[in-house]
């Protein structure tokens, strides 16, 4: 019974790190024949430490993908690392007819591989997106899938989109080691 006073409660949300959560705050009267009057004055969510984000860029790009070349690989080696909480991939590639392309990101040290782009526009169109160039961030939390992108402008895929395979497959892994992006032209 807290007559005319505010009550404070603290709850750890650590078990939900990296997830979307919703808070429901209810006032309940467990006793009979009484009046419940309740209000929310303030809700504050604080992080013990701010997460750190680090951007790594492959040093062996750009790499050409000339006609009659089936695939190319770009590698990035990280000497030290941290536990991955969320991974996004930035793709900046000049290529005619992006519907011919697939891209697989592999963490060589763990064997985890994710198909991040897989012939955008296929199977809606047998030949995929006929537009040129990709300038995109692939992020699991993005609303629109990269698979369905094919604008009339250049780059034809431009913005932030969810990848074909979930990048959350890498969550919990140590980021150190060799990462390889394999780009395949299916034409």
Instruction: Give the model's pLDDT for residue 125.
Output: 76
Give me the pLDDT at residue 21, please.
Answer: 78
pLDDT of 127 reads: 84
Higher local confidence (pLDDT), 101 or 124: 101
SS (H, E, C) the chain: CCCCCCCCCCCCCHHHCCCCCCCCCCCCCCCCCCCCCCCCCCCCCCCCCCCCCCCCCCCCCCCCCCCCCCEEEEEEEECCCCECCCCCEEEEECCCCHHHEEEEEEECCCCEEEEEEECCCCCCCCCCCCCCCEEEEECCCCCCEHHHCCCCCCCCEEEEEECCCCHHHHCCCECCEEEEEEEEECC
Residue 66 pLDDT > 60:
yes
Q: So what's the pLDDT on residue 3?
A: 65
**pLDDT at res. 30:** 61
1 pLDDT more than 60: no
- Give the tens place of pLDDT for each residue, 6-56: 677 777 777 777 777 777 777 666 666 666 666 666 677 766 666 678 888
Q: What is the pLDDT of residues 126-169, one digit of tens each?
A: 788 999 999 999 999 999 999 999 999 999 999 999 999 999 99
pLDDT at 104 over 60: yes
- pLDDT of residue 82 exceeding 90, the answer is no
């Amino acid at each position: 019974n807290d007559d005319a006073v505010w009550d404070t409660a603290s709850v750890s949300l650590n078990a939900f790190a990296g997830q979307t959560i919703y808070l429901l705050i209810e006032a309940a009267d467990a006793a009979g024949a009484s009046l419940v009057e309740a209000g929310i004055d303030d809700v504050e969510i604080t992080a013990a430490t701010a997460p750190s984000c680090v951007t790594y860029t492959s040093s062996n790009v750009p790499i050409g993908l000339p006609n009659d070349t089936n695939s190319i690989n770009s590698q990035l080696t990280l000497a030290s690392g941290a536990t991955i909480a969320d991974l996004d991939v930035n793709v900046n590639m000049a290529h005619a007819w992006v519907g011919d392309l697939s891209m697989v990101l592999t963490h060589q040290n763990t064997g985890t591989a994710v198909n991040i782009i897989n012939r955008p526009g296929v199977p809606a169109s047998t030949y995929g997106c006929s537009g040129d160039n990709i300038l995109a961030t692939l992020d699991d939390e993005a609303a629109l899938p990269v698979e369905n992108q094919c604008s009339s402008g250049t780059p034809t895929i431009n913005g932030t989109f969810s990848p074909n395979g979930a990048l959350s497959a890498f969550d919990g892994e140590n980021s150190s080691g060799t990462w390889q992006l394999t780009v395949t032209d299916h034409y």
